[in-house]
Amino acid sequence: MLKAILFDLDNTLIDFSGFKRESALAAAKAMRKAGVKESEKAIYSRIFEAYERFGIEYRSTFTEVLRSLGVEDRNLFEHARQAAIIAYTKKKYELIKPRQKAIRTLSALRSRYKLGIVTDAPKDKAWQRLILAGLDHLFYPVVTFSDTEAKKPSPAPFLRALELLKVMPKEALFVGDMLERDIIGAKKAGMITCLAKYGCHDFSEEENVADYTIEKFEDIHEVINSLE
């Protein structure tokens, strides 16, 4: 009997990759406008190089970018850094929205099931995104990297969420967009799994080990109907 549905956050509930691309571009434009003598394209590339090297949640990305560009003038350095932070933040507020029909679908599910989140994002950033997307009142628990210090596909964050919900693994469905992290991790924890194909970047049918696959967020209703 299905009692709980747990979700990944980034690219499952919100378009995280799209937000990162557009926010990085806004930051690159702001650095250029502040006086950095590189093209927007070059600065944008450096931002993603920093993400690749230090992680997508790295808190000193723009500092690292300016250092890598050899910006030595302290006034220009701080001007460009703060301009990038503000441009990035403004774009974040503009772009972080729930997937289409997500709030309506989740509100309907919440009347029948416990809903929770398991994400690799730090606690503060996960909650910021949930609040900006208007999803913050729909979930308990919200298990982040800060709670277990273990990233998917470790079963630890999934098991922590199940413990808080007081449900058995086979009584819970996990929905996520990454096969190697979300689906494999949830399977290790003994959960039923559903791949959010709409959020995948390199989908491979041959590698898809999820129990179910959905093309749109609201397709989760069909998965639940088949389980029941």
119 and 132, same domain (yes or no): yes
What single letter denotes the amino acid at residue 23? S
The per-residue pLDDT string of the chain (228 residues; one tens digit each, 9 = 90 and over) reads 999 999 999 999 999 999 999 999 999 999 999 999 999 999 999 999 999 999 999 999 999 999 999 999 999 999 999 999 999 999 999 999 999 999 999 999 999 999 999 999 999 999 999 999 999 999 999 999 999 999 999 999 999 999 999 999 999 999 999 999 999 999 999 999 999 999 998 777 878 899 999 999 999 999 999 998
CA atoms within 13 A on the CB side of 24: 22
Place of tokens 């039923």: 192
Return d(Cα 72, Cα 88) in angstroms, integer.
22
Q: 71 and 25 in one domain?
A: yes
- Indicate if 108 and 194 belong to the same structural domain: yes
Q: Are residues 45 and 123 in the same domain?
A: no
Domain boundary pick from 64, 95, 126: 95
Query: How many independent structural domains does the chain possess?
Result: 2
Count Cβ neighbours within 10 Å for each residue of 81-120 and write b for 16 or more, e otherwise: bebbeebbeebbeebbbbbeebbebbeebeeebbbbbbbb
**Residue 195: domain span:** 4-15+97-227
> Where residue 102 sits, what CATH number does that domain have?
3.40.50.1000
One domain for residues 175 and 216: yes
- Is 10 in the same domain as 104? yes
Residues 44 and 155 in one domain: no
